[in-house]
């Protein structure tokens, strides 16, 4: 008996019947995918989670035949009958059950169905329709495969971590508000008027406390909640594979996670090579304009500041002399772009923060077509071509600005061009660790330091002495795992020394009273013997979406929200009654 039928009222799952079952009396249950009335015979394609099998009913089974005539698409049925070989010429090679059919002698209708808003075997182009009728959408084989693979990932992760000494522990979902960069979802307390719980943005503080408590290796599939603007790879609530480990260094943590990813990728038949390459953060920003570079194609950013410092083109030379940089990329095969297409690239660059975008097209004969070519010597142009590895047919694009802006704009252009000209091929997975991240960034708006990751990240031993004098030069023991240009997870070694943690809070402009109010229980725990520890979290939704090569995580979540944070199926968020508001001591203005 198959696993789906064990303990069930049926004897077999629909998709499991083969020629080995010929002659068996079977009981099946499921949904009618289609019904075809051929006059003397009625055919029903019966579907359950395992697949589809053809049921045939003839008039000799009078009760079954009469019931079968009432069946419509998506009716839920009970079928009893005998498995037989399909007649010659009717075999369906596209179905695992295509060599057999079930001759029914009993059919019962468990429940009728209205006409579905769309066909089960094809997805409508209108995603809002799919989300409104998500229970219908989830019947589609593709969606069921997506969620079954998600289940397989969870199982594989759990098995791997269990076998490596981890303990699965749940942490609270009703906790204290400790903002970590995004807005909290707040939950009013009925028993303590005018007080609020917050839904956790991550279990960060609790998992560090678990290390102080001596569990040494912890994990959970943690629900995390962030009230932020949504994109294709974000939801107000998501699931992360959350881990924390004591007495391990960066090499140990990364090696352990690489083993985990290696196991997970085997599910889709992909063998990833370990150890996974590590790329310094500064290199990623300079050469790819991003801390999550997509390595499935080339087109790396090159700096040509030294070549153009004395060039006749003042936009370039003045930028370099003023402390800026001139950087460029070579777009393969794009020299054929029309002026209007190039103008679109210029508009894209300025929309992403550039003052402008200069260009040179290397034509098939090697000639340069460009409004700025006359300002450069032949030697300078040749040096630029060599630096950018530009060949005939390529389009060279340049941005002159502050180094970070120049790379960021070209990084965005790099991704746009790769998509436009089809450089990104399917079934390719490029993994990279981003390491040596700065501990702090500078908040221009508020004129203060901000943590690049979070305030509990440990500075590196060789740069910690710069905290007082040059904090922006301090590096951290942080690491992000990037797959195909998406940050799938990240973490760090944590600070486990109370005095160092207090110093970091002070550098971030936080008074000790404020720090004790927000994080007092963590600081107090550190005073009772905190081991060196670190960890990371991997976004389960993002990881599964990448494995399935889906563009949005909504394809791998059973009941996702829209980009406005709405559940179209349930209507959440919704209003509540005045009585409910009074109970939690809230009055709407």
Distance between CA atoms of 168 and 244, rounded to whole angstroms?
A: 11
CATH code, 227: 3.30.930.10
Bridge-based pairing of strands 448-451 and 325-331 is unpaired
Terminal alpha carbon distance of the chain: 62
Residues 358 and 416 placed together within one structural domain of the fold: yes
Same domain, yes or no, for 159 and 94? no
Is 257 in the same domain as 328? no
Mean pLDDT by 10 residues, the chain (589 residues): 93 97 98 93 97 96 94 98 96 96 98 96 92 97 97 98 98 85 90 95 96 98 90 86 98 98 98 97 97 96 97 96 97 94 97 96 90 95 96 97 97 96 93 97 91 95 96 97 97 96 93 90 94 98 97 96 94 95 92
| Same domain, residue pair 367 and 438 | no
Position 581 in a domain: no
Is position 526 within any domain?
yes
Are both 393 and 464 inside the same structural domain? no
Could you tell me if residue 333 is inside a domain?
yes
* CATH code (residue 105): 2.40.50.140
Which of 390, 420, 450 is the last residue in one of the domains? 420
pLDDT at 18: 97
562 found inside a domain: no
Domain assignment present for residue 116? The answer is no
pLDDT of residue 180: 55
* Both tokens assigned to 61: 């089974």
- Residue 27 — φ and ψ, nearest 5°? -120, 125
Residues 319 and 260 in one domain: no
State how many domains the chain has.
3
Q: Do 231 and 263 share a domain, yes or no?
A: yes
Whole-angstrom Cα distance, residue 19 to residue 452? Answer: 60
Would you call the peptide bond into 573 cis, given omega within 30 degrees of 0 as the criterion? yes
395 and 327 within one domain:
yes
Domain hosting residue 483, numbered range: 143-280+429-557
In sequence order, the 6+-apart residues with CB closer than 8 A to the CB of 582 are: none
Q: Where are the alpha helices (DSSP H) in 276-377?
A: 281-288, 305-308, 314-321, 339-351
- pLDDT at position 123: 86
Together in a domain, 67 and 196 = no
Calpha distance 523→513 (Å, rounded): 12
Are 317 and 394 part of one and the same domain?
Answer: yes
Which pLDDT value is given to residue 234?
A: 85
Chosen domain end from 356, 385, 420:
420
313 lies in the same domain as 394: yes
Question: Does 287 fall in a domain?
Answer: no
Question: Does 589 map to a domain?
Answer: no
Residue 579: CA count within 13 A, CB half-sphere: 0
Q: What is the pTM of this model?
A: 0.94
SS3 state of residue 37? strand
Same domain, 166 and 246: yes
User: Where residue 353 sits, what CATH number does that domain have?
Assistant: 3.30.1360.30
Q: Which is it for strands 278-280 and 431-435: parallel, antiparallel or unpaired?
A: parallel
Identify the pLDDT of residue 563. 87
Position 127 scores a pLDDT of 94
- pLDDT at residue 232, as a whole number: 62
In a domain, 325, yes or no: yes
13 alpha-carbon distance from chain centroid: 33
Dig out the tokens for 277 from the structure. Answer: 């390459």
Q: What pLDDT is attached to residue 181? A: 66
- Among 67, 89, 111, residue at a domain's last position: 111
């Amino acid at each position: 008996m198959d696993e789906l039928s064990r303990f069930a009222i049926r004897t077999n799952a629909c998709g499991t019947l083969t020629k080995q079952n010929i002659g068996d009396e079977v009981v099946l249950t499921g949904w009618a995918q289609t019904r075809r009335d051929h006059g003397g015979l009625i055919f029903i394609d019966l579907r359950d989670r395992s697949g589809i099998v053809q049921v045939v009913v003839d008039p000799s089974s009078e009760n079954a035949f009469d019931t079968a005539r009432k069946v419509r698409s998506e009716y839920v049925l009970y079928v009893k009958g005998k498995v037989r070989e399909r007649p010659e010429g009717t075999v369906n090679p596209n179905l695992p059950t295509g060599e057999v059919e079930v001759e029914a002698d009993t059919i019962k209708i468990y429940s009728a169905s209205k006409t579905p808003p769309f066909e089960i075997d094809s997805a409508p182009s209108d995603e809002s329709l799919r989300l409104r009728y998500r229970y219908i959408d989830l019947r589609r084989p593709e969606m069921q495969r997506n969620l079954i693979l998600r289940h397989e990932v969870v199982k594989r992760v759990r098995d791997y971590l269990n076998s490596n000494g981890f303990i699965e522990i749940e942490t609270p979902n009703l906790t204290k508000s400790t903002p970590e960069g995004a807005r909290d979802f707040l939950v009013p307390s009925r028993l303590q008027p005018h007080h609020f719980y917050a839904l956790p943005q991550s279990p960060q503080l609790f998992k560090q406390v678990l290390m102080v408590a001596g569990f040494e290796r912890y994990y959970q599939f943690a629900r995390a909640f962030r009230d932020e603007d949504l994109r294709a790879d974000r939801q107000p609530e998501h699931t992360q594979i959350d881990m924390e480990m004591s007495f391990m260094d960066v090499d140990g943590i990364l090696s352990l996670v690489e083993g985990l990813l290696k196991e997970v990728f085997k599910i889709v038949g992909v063998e990833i090579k370990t150890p996974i390459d590590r790329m310094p953060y500064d290199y990623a920003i300079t050469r790819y304009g991003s801390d999550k570079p997509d390595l499935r194609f080339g087109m790396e950013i090159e700096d040509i500041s030294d070549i153009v410092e004395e060039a006749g083109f003042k936009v370039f030379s003045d930028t370099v002399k003023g402390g800026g940089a001139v950087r460029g990329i070579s777009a393969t095969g794009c020299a054929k772009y029309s002026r209007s297409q190039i103008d679109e690239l210029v508009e894209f660059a300025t929309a992403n923060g550039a003052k402008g975008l200069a260009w040179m097209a290397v034509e098939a004969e090697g000639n340069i077509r460009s409004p700025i070519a006359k300002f450069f010597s032949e030697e300078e142009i040749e040096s630029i071509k060599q630096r950018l590895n530009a060949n005939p047919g390529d389009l060279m694009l340049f941005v002159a600005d502050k180094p970070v802006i120049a790379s960021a704009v070209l990084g965005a252009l790099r991704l746009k061009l790769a998509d436009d000209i089809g450089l990104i091929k399917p079934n390719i997975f490029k993994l990279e660790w981003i390491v040596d991240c700065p501990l702090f960034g500078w908040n221009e708006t508020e004129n203060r330091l901000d943590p690049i990751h979070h305030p509990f990240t440990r500075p590196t031993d060789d740069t910690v002495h710069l905290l007082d004098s040059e904090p922006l030069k301090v590096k951290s023991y942080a690491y992000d795992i990037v797959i195909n240009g998406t940050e799938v997870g990240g973490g760090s070694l944590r600070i486990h020394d109370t005095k160092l943690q207090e110093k970091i809070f002070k550098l971030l402009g936080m008074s000790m009273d404020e720090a004790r109010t927000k994080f007092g229980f963590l600081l107090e725990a550190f005073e009772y013997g905190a081991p060196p520890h670190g960890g990371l979290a991997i976004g389960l939704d993002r990881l599964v979406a990448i494995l399935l090569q889906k563009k949005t995580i909504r394809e791998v979540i059973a009941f996702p929200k829209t980009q406005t944070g709405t559940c179209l199926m349930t209507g959440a968020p919704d209003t509540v009654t005045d009585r409910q508001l009074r109970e939690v001591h809230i009055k709407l203005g």
